[in-house]
Structure 1
Amino acid sequence: MKVQRTIRVDRPQHTVVAYLADFGNAVQWDPGTMSCMRTDQGPIVVGSTWRNVSDFNGRITELDYRLERLEPARLTFVGHNKQATATDDLRFSTDEATTTITYNAEITFNGLLRLAGPLLRRGFETLADEVETSLTTALETL
């Protein structure tokens, strides 16, 4: 399942990228995230990791996320557990003080959950709409 949202905020790109590079901030902008704790130490670099606990459709899910790409115009996080792999890919562009974020989220279910994937599509779309709103709010208040 894939969703894409385009978000425009009146913040400089470097500020937006720095904030989003710390996936622990997901508790502030992802309505499904209940907690997101860093599981390694040091500066945030490719390979940094987080444990994300989310509520999706009333089900608590834990995913271990890793920062796979850290570039001035792109961030990619990949989360895994036995049931699913989630990828959050964010691309950034700027026009003076406005930053445009192209947010691509993809989830691939494993095992029997693959059969339930189509049934979960509506919930995934709704969550993406909520993220668009809450991420805009979080970034505008930086």
Structure 2
Amino acid sequence: MIRVVRTIAIHRPMQEAVAYLEDFTHAEDWDPATVSCVRLDQGPVGPGARWRNTSRFRGRTSEVGYRLDERGPDRLRFVGENKTVRLTDDLRFTPVSDRSTRLVYTATFHFKGLARLAEPFLRKDVDRLADDVAAAMPSAVAP
């Protein structure tokens, strides 16, 4: 398992930041590895909502099915899975002011099967991916 944590300053009120990020289709804006992200169901976004995310990692493109696992006033948790990895994106929000929010973004990668053997070699790439997300997130979420 690889876990990365980044703390990100967002210049948007907490409630608005949570509302924006709960729609995982916006991953196209804040995750530079995301090629596309498509909602698979309809209706209001809430726990159980599902997306198909196509990402590029280490030069390869793969699809991951995501679902919104938990949604609270100060937390979002998405779980994604395909045949080689189970991913958890845990977003925890704290208001800093009425116009600013601190986001603690934790991504956990549980590699499966033979991919587990490559885990030690993937750490740098996962760290770089987390750094890219932390760099892109503030401007993507800003109003």
Which range, TM-score by smaller chain?
over 0.9
Alignment check: 8 A CA contact 2:11 2:138 kept: no
Structure 2 stretches lacking a partner, 5+ long: none
Structure 1 stretches lacking a partner, 5+ long: none
- Return the alpha-carbon distance in structure 1 between the equivalents of residues 80 and 129 of structure 2: 17
The residue aligned with 2:129 is 127
Q: Percent identity?
A: 48
Q: What is the one-letter code of the residue matched to 1:4?
A: V
- When the two structures are aligned, how many residues end up with a matched partner? 141
Instruction: Confirm or deny that 1:100 pairs with 2:96.
Output: no
Q: What is the one-letter code of the residue matched to 2:42?
A: Q
Q: What is the one-letter code of the residue matched to 2:122?
A: L
- Return the alpha-carbon distance in structure 2 between the equivalents of residues 29 and 98 of structure 1: 17
* 1:4-44 CA distance string (max 9 Å, x none): 00001221001100000000000011000000000001000
Secondary structure of 1:112's counterpart equals helix
* 1:101-133 CA distance string (max 9 Å, x none): 000001111000000011011000001101001
Cα shift at 1:95:
2.1
Correspondences of 1:34-49 after superposition (within 5 Å)? 34-49=35-50
- Return the alpha-carbon distance in structure 1 between the equivalents of residues 38 and 106 of structure 2: 22
Cα shift at 1:79:
0.2
Correspondences of 1:36-75 after superposition (within 5 Å)? 36-75=37-76
The residue aligned with 1:13 is 14
Q: Considering only aligned residues, what root-mean-square deviation do their CA atoms show, in Å?
A: 0.6
- Return the alpha-carbon distance in structure 2 between the equivalents of residues 127 and 102 of structure 1: 15
Correspondences of 1:79-90 after superposition (within 5 Å)? 79-90=80-91
- Return the alpha-carbon distance in structure 2 between the equivalents of residues 11 and 115 of structure 1: 41
Q: TM-score, normalised by structure 2?
A: 0.97
The residue aligned with 1:116 is 118
* 1:57-112 CA distance string (max 9 Å, x none): 10111100010001010000000111110000000000222100000001111000
- Return the alpha-carbon distance in structure 2 between the equivalents of residues 2 and 119 of structure 1: 14
Q: TM-score, normalised by structure 1?
A: 0.97
Q: What is the one-letter code of the residue matched to 2:124?
A: R
